[in-house]
Amino acid sequence: MTDPSHVAAPVVKADTEYSLLRRAAFASMDAESILTAEFDADGQVVDFRFAVTNLVASQVLRRPMVELLGYTVTEVFPSSGANLVRIWAECLASGIAMLEEIQIDTDTEHPRWIRQQVLPLGDAIAVTSHDITDRRRAEADLRSLAHQDPLTELPNRRAALDGICASLERHGHGSPTTVLFVDLDRFKTVNDTFGHAGGDELLRQIAARLGSVLRAEDMVARFGGDEFVVCLDGSTSPQGVSSIIDKLVDALRVPFRIGDSDIAISASIGVATSHPDWSGTIDTANLLVHQADIAAYEAKRQGRDQVAVFNEDIGHRVDRAGMIVRELRNALSQGNLEVHFQAQVHLETRRPVGLEALVRWNHPEHGLLSAGEFLPLAEDAGLTVPLGRWVRQRAMGSWKRSLGSLPSDLTDNMILWFKVSPTELHSNFTAWLIADAAAAGFVHSSIGIEMEAESPEAVFAIKKQTLEELRDLGFRIALTEVSVNHAGISALHSFAADVIKLERVAVTQLGESAGSTRTALLGVLSVLGSLSAELGMQLCAGGIESEAQVAPLKDHGFVSGAGAHLAPVVSEPDLVEALENMFATST
């Protein structure tokens, strides 16, 4: 305590309060302490010493009473004590009670947050302490959640935009900031096959792998769903950007391990770079991400597992694609699409043995669009499943109506074929196909499903299960896009099927090539012929456009085929007449 000679009259009142509070502190249910000020030679407060404390205070402060009483604040709290002395000295000097939230060091590695009500008492203070550590940690967690993706622990969309803003502001008119939009390809098939838990685990692994190839100054964030955004700091040179992109692509191409399965997944990556005069605003950051997103869409349109750099041409093209997707949704909901047909014929007799159902879109501005012009957009927009079912229902109804005009002895064994993509193989697919066939009055053996032989690992299990179910129920199965390599041959042995179908590309080359290329193609036909005989499957060829292609196909065991040379693509009103003509000219 200081010399009483320089203490003003109010100290009498302070002494009285001190005495009362001293007695009250011991009986209080709150954490109560009284500390006396320590002064230097100049009368400045340099510390506070615990004079009174109670058991509750010792518990809140995480110190036994014997380590508090008689000790100074800086002795008890070596790290945080100086800050406490400063705050309490200001309170003492002002003579006004205060309420403060402070952090103190404890005997554990985690500091504690304490809310203290401090009452000045002349040369002493009375402190009531409340532990608010849990509340402060909860608030910190909430702040973290506002900027962090809880699944991958990466920055989230909001934090990504803030980081891009900071990069733009930091470099200004110097070097540009580059943003990469990483959109995983066919991620939905992973969720369909391994469930959402498997999909979540894959996202966590991808997040870690993306981060592992970036520099410390760069940022990777999860932007939502299966999309990630990478911000390359403005100091990155064009060569450096290219090098980082190559590393990201290579990193993603290494299979991921989910449970007992190795999962191969790719990504479509869009690249956008800021202009020199762009400022670090949230609108600018959004624009940069939007451009990278558009470029990623273009990369996906090019066939996936690609990288595209944004430019104005891509922007216009993607805007048109977005418009087409919106129009396609309307066309599907309003029934404005069309189903056309192309016959499969017996290569020897030229008699129709089946029909391939083909979707067409009679667009009001762009005319009749083939499937290849809008199906990739439909898949990206999540329309593949409803579009596929609409085609099957419409084609079955149309074919059923046409059968009434044709002799049954000519059509009884014909098969109506549908192309099905792996994204359509969901839990309801088999049930839907059974229901649609029954509604149209078809036996299962008159319906055929075409599907690519090779598949990403992510869809292998569900594809195998579904094809086995369908074949056991009597539906016909054709495997297309068969490669004569280990993967292709393994696929043929893995899946139950009735037909191996050679697609247009290989058939076209067969008619145009010569020399060693033709010899290699004939070798492919020979392998397929042997495989079909071994597995008990028929061979069919698509895209036949000349008679020169027919002979080598027949020589290697191909039974049927389709293409412009054998049968035209016709709309529903022209189907009966086209088939009648073909039956009339067949042998």
DSSP string, 25-58: HHH-SSEEEEEEEEE-TTS-EEEEEEEEE-HHHH
Coil vs helix vs strand at 216: coil
Res 132 pLDDT > 60 = yes
Q: How many CB atoms within 10 Å of residue 275? A: 10
CA gap 276, 73 in Å, rounded: 55
| Total Cβ atoms within 10 A of residue 538 | 17
- Say yes or no to pLDDT of 443 above 90: yes
CA-to-CA distance for 393 and 385, rounded, in angstroms? Answer: 12
- Is pLDDT at 40 greater than 90 in this prediction? yes
Least confident of 50-64, 259-273, 321-335: 321-335
Q: Which of 153-167, 215-229, 240-254, 342-356 has the highest mean pLDDT?
A: 342-356
Q: Which residues, 6 or more positions from 366, have their beta carbon under 8 angstroms from its beta carbon?
A: none
pLDDT of 341 higher than 70: yes
Distance CA 81, CA 320 (A): 66
pLDDT > 70? residue 66: yes
Q: Which helix (H) or strand (E) holds 183?
A: strand 178-184
| pLDDT value at 180 more than 90 | yes
Question: What is the residue whose two structure tokens read 């529903």?
Answer: 572
In this prediction, residue 29 carries a pLDDT of 62
- Annotation: CATH topology of 4-136: Beta-Lactamase (3.30.450)
* Residue 136: how many other CB atoms lie within 10 Å: 17
State the pLDDT at residue 9. Answer: 34
pLDDT tens sequence across 186-201 = 887 787 778 788 889 9
Radius of gyration, alpha carbons of the chain: 38
CATH 3.30.70.270 domain locations along the chain: 148-310
The Cα-based distances of 76 to 66, 336, 540 in angstroms read 11, 80, 87
| pLDDT the model gives residue 28 | 52
**378 exposed, middle or buried (CB, 10 Å; 0-12, 13-18, 19+)?**
buried
- Quickly state the pLDDT bin for 5 (edges 50, 70, 90): very low
CA of residue 3 relative to chain centroid, distance: 73
User: What is the residue whose two structure tokens read 């009375």?
Assistant: 126
Q: How many CB atoms lie within 10 A of CB 86?
A: 10
Least Cα distance to 328 among 359, 285, 293, 288 occurs for: 359
pLDDT (0 to 100) of residue 12: 38
Which of 27-41, 49-63, 141-155, 433-447 is predicted most confidently?
433-447
In this structure, whether the domain defined by 323-585 belongs to CATH 3.40.50.10330 is answered with no
| pLDDT tens, residue by residue, 507-540 | 776 766 666 667 777 887 888 888 888 888 999 9
How far is Cα 482 from Cα 492, in angstroms, rounded to an integer?
8
User: What is the pLDDT, as a whole number, of residue 134?
Assistant: 84
Q: Is pTM, for the whole model, over 0.85?
A: no
Give the side-chain half-sphere CA count within 13 A for 445: 4
Residue with tokens 């099905």: 420
Name the H helices within 335-445.
371-380, 384-403, 408-411, 429-440
CATH code of the domain occupying 148-310: 3.30.70.270
Question: Tell me, what's the pLDDT at 107?
Answer: 63
CA dist., res. 440 & res. 397, Å (int)? 6
In the predicted model, is pLDDT for residue 27 greater than 50?
Answer: no
CA distance 33 to 127: 5
Which CA distances in Å does 170 have to 80, 85, 211? 34, 38, 22
Q: Which has the closest alpha carbon to 266: 212, 320, 189, 372?
A: 189
Of residues 319 and 130, the one with the higher pLDDT is: 130
Q: Maximum distance among all alpha carbons in the chain?
A: 131
Residues of the chain with CATH 3.20.20.450: 323-585
**At residue 123, does pLDDT exceed 70?**
yes
Q: Return the number of other C-beta atoms located less than 10 Å from residue 93's C-beta.
A: 11
Highest mean pLDDT among 20-34, 43-57, 138-152, 160-174: 43-57
Beta-bridge mates of residue 415: 354
- Mean per-residue pLDDT for 376-383? 75
Choice among 128-132, 176-180, 370-374 with the minimum mean pLDDT: 370-374
Distance, CA of 70 to CA of 80 (rounded, Å): 18
Give CA–CA dist 500/481, Å, rounded: 9
Which segments of the chain belong to CATH 3.30.450.20?
4-136
Mean pLDDT lowest among 38-47, 232-241, 501-510 = 501-510
What gap in Å lies between CA 423 and CA 220, rounded to an integer? Answer: 28
Nearest CA among 155, 173, 183, 178 for reference residue 288: 178
Task: Give per-residue pLDDT as tens, 461-480.
Answer: 677 888 889 999 999 999 88
Residue type at position 462: I
Across the chain, mean pLDDT equals 83
Written in H, E and C, the secondary structure of 517-545 is: HHHHHHHHHHHHHHHHHHHCCEEEECCCC
pLDDT above 70 covers a percentage of the chain that reads 86
The tokens of 293 are what? 């997103």
The one-character DSSP state at 176 is P
DSSP assignment letter at 454: -
